[in-house]
Amino acid sequence: MTRIKLFITLNFLLWINQLESQVNHTLYFMERIPQSNQINPALQPNCNVYIGLPGLSSFYFDIGNNSLNAKSIFQYNSTLDSLITFLHPQADRTIFFNDLKEKNNFYNAFQYDILSFGFKVRNLYFHFNTSLKSYTYLTYPRSLMELILKGSDVGTITDLKSFGIYNTTYGEVSFGLSNNFENDFILGAKLKILSGINNISTNNKKFLVETYEDQNNRFINSFASDVSFRIYAPYLEDTPNGADLSLDSLLKLKDKPQESIKPFESMGVAFDLGVLYTGIENVKLSASLVDIGLISWNKNTYELKMRSSYSIPGVEIDRDSLENAFENPLGSIKDSVTFSKFPVKYSTALPMKLYLGGEYFLETYFSFGLMSVTQYYVKSIYQQFTFSSNFRPLRSIMLSLSYSFINNGFSNIGAGITFRPLPPFQFYLLFDNIPIRYGKQYIPIYARSANIRFGLNLTFGYRHRIKDKPLSWE
């Protein structure tokens, strides 16, 4: 049972590869980085031509959660003179449970740009990009962790409806165009062709667990569920349609899983729209809608539905030692839960984001920015804000410092730099979550999330400063 607990818990903590993810806070006001057009297609970099160095153009990784940090997971035990996790028998688990929220989430996002380039023709700027993207979102209620680690009292009904796993991995080819109009407007749009590689989506209508005592003094967990998982995973071994399929049989990999991936089997389309307005002196306003689209999963897809009701017997209740009565609260989950499988066709939407930004220029080279991003995914809305200060001392260098409200906290410091150490090479490095509090050995034990974005471009043809206008960000 200990191994089952550890397996389940680690899956919550390490399930990687969504949601408050794929939001680049610091990048938003760094228009000198050509990849900024990925969050607003109206943005035009200050070079006439850029080429993302193949293989090094852009790498982005983001992981985090809304409740736990290293301090919640690890603690020092003076008796053992060792660092232990909250799963250890001598651990004080109240620290872990006090940090949990009623609804918790873990997320991860990954993006790797394979090839990208852009060029300017008069007032038009053309963009092209190919990339591999993946994001995962895992949501679960506090009551699920309490049930796994502490058990529940007789007569208790635990509601696990908020539990869900969502993952999408896909390739993307995008074509973008922006037009700089003479009336201080820049409009941009981008078309994205999507190729699905992997997907799992949870549909949780009901998931209740009732704990009671039977006539033999054993406690029983009775499950009543209406939970299904829609899956596209061509690298898993084929299993027959029907009922009573075990978890072990469903998770077996094919002998050569990499050969089973078919990039053009599940296709989709998405759009980005953006606008910039510079008609107000020393002010630049911006807005964009990103990832308006979906992927259709039509071939080799199936739905797994959990059995609607079943009971898992637990340990016998020892009347003389009630504190250990619920030591093994869920029994053997892996051996008890079975699924029915049947083919299904479905579609999934991308996490759509609305960016709104305003930037005030004190000088040509210094500005303050305020950005709001509203993200909609899995019938939920997530709101984040970022305040940014940006410094452009030279045409070849730009620095940015950001402060964001993310994961229910304001202690999210970000920073970014782009420079041309040796023209035409342009290097950039961005962070949205730099830890500001550390424990012993300089470990960021209070951090809930971490991300990084970096890349290398070749840039050519920089514009001259616009002398007849006080607002310039070349």
DSSP class per residue in 200-253: EEEEEEEEEEEEEE-TTSEEEEEEEEEEEEEEE-TTBPP--SEEEEEHHHHTPB
Residue in 65, 68, 138 with CA at minimum distance from that of residue 98: 68
CA-based nearest residue to 70, from 91, 90, 99: 99
* CA 108/CA 451 separation, integer angstroms: 9
| Spatial distance between the Cα atoms of 348 and 125, rounded to a whole number of angstroms | 31
- Compute the distance between CA of residue 69 and CA of residue 416 in angstroms, rounded to an integer: 24
> Would you list the domain boundaries of the chain?
2-66+101-462
Contact 414, 404 (CB under 8 A): yes
Angle, CA 80 vertex, CA 78 and CA 82 arms, to 5°? 80
Q: Which helix (H) or strand (E) holds 4?
A: helix 2-14
Q: Angle CA(423)–CA(27)–CA(363) in degrees, nearest 5?
A: 75
Which structure tokens are listed for 390?
Answer: 């940006």
d(CA 30, CA 428): 10
Nearest to 287 by CA among 306, 268, 272: 272
Q: Which residue in 278, 264, 49, 324 sits closest to 182, CA to CA? A: 278
Peptide bond between residue 141 and the one before it cis (omega within 30 degrees of 0): no
- Beta strands, E only, 122-161: 124-141, 157-159
- At residue 295's C-alpha, the angle toward residues 292 and 297, to 5°, is 160
What is the C-alpha to C-alpha distance for residues 160 and 145, in angstroms, rounded to an integer? Answer: 10
pTM of the model: 0.85
CA atoms lying within 13 Å on the CB side of residue 209? 25
The residue length of the chain stands at 474
CATH class of the 2-66+101-462 domain in this structure: mainly beta
CB 376 within 8 A of CB 351: yes
For 387, the token pair is 């305040």
Give the separation between CA 316 and CA 461, rounded to whole angstroms: 77
The torsion angle over the Cα atoms of residues 29, 41, 364 and 421, rounded to 10 degrees, is: 70
Residue among 248, 349, 366 nearest 294 (CA): 349
How far apart, in whole angstroms, are the C-alpha atoms of residue 13 and residue 138?
Answer: 9
How are beta strands 185-213 and 425-434 bridged, if at all? unpaired
Going 397 to 362 to 360 to 472, the CA torsion angle's sign is negative
**What backbone phi and psi angles, to 5 degrees, belong to 407?**
55, 45
What are 320-336's pLDDT values in tens digits?
443 444 444 444 565 66
Tens digit of pLDDT per residue, the chain (474 long)? 443 343 334 343 333 333 444 567 899 999 999 999 999 999 999 899 999 988 889 999 998 888 898 888 888 888 888 888 888 888 888 999 999 999 898 889 999 999 999 999 999 999 999 999 999 989 999 998 888 787 777 888 889 999 999 999 999 999 999 999 977 899 999 999 999 999 999 999 999 988 888 777 777 778 888 999 999 999 898 888 887 888 888 888 888 877 888 888 999 999 999 999 999 999 999 999 999 999 999 888 999 998 777 676 654 444 444 344 444 444 456 566 788 999 999 999 999 999 999 999 997 789 999 999 998 877 778 888 999 999 998 878 999 999 987 655 555 789 999 999 888 999 999 998 888 777 776 777 788 888 899 999 999 998 654 443 434 444
Please, what is the angle between helix 2-14 and helix 142-149, to 10°?
160
Burial letters for 152-185: b for 16+ Cβ neighbours within 10 Å, e otherwise? beeeeebebebbbbbbbbbbbebebbbebeeeee
In angstroms, rounded to a whole number, what is the distance separating the alpha carbons of residues 244 and 222? 18
Cα 337 to Cα 327: distance, rounded to the nearest angstrom: 20
Using DSSP's 3-state secondary structure scheme, residue 40 falls into coil
Q: Are 377 and 19 spatial neighbours (Cβ–Cβ below 8 Å)?
A: yes
